[in-house]
Amino acid sequence: MSKIKNIDELLKKGKIKLWIDLKPALSEEELEIRIRRDFDIFKNKTFKNSLDRLLPKKMIETIVTLSQINPNKKVNEITKQERKNLIALLKKFEITITGFRPIEEAIVTAGGISTKEIHPKTMASKLVKGLYFAGEIIDVDSYTGRI
């Protein structure tokens, strides 16, 4: 197998699938407890209006749609299986990358943590033990917004 150096090479081979754990700090069991607690608090709310404490506002509509739970269903009517499906979605959120967005939509950022203060192989801080960096927090100028 040849070593792939960048996303352009990967995309030439086809679509790229990524799975993201949207709640990495919680095990499935802990997430179940968290969701049940939120649903107890918001038992008379609709599903689409019950996720404010669990997810960023911009993700709620997507998660509601992908969960296949009726957005207008009261949370006290959501079944155990629907909750399990929601947990599975949050723990293994799938994204398929098919190409890049137009360059006109790209964002350029500047500034951040100096690369001289970061171990390049581990992305660990050279100044603070246990601190790691990724993304736009690092002082590297480039196009972003590519998917």
pLDDT by residue (tens digit) across 136-147? 788 887 655 554
Strands 143-144 and 107-108 turn out to be: antiparallel
What the chain holds in terms of domains, given with CATH numbers, is: 16-97 (1.10.8.50), 101-147 (no CATH)
| pLDDT value of residue 1 | 44
The sign of the torsion formed by the CA atoms of 92, 97, 103, 108 equals: positive
Q: CA-to-CA distance for 22 and 91, rounded, in angstroms?
A: 6
Pick the closest to residue 133 from 146, 121, 147 (CA basis).
121
Percent of the chain scoring above 90 in pLDDT = 65
- Give strand ranges (E) for 4-142: 16-20, 93-97, 107-108
pLDDT, position 140 = 80
Residue 118 β-bridge partners: 125
Q: Is 65 helix (H, G, I), strand (E, B) or coil?
A: helix
Cβ-based neighbour number of residue 31 at 10 Å: 21
User: For residue 26, is pLDDT > 50?
Assistant: yes
Distance (Å, whole) CA 31 – CA 25: 9
What are the pLDDT digits (tens) for 32-55? 999 999 999 999 999 999 999 999
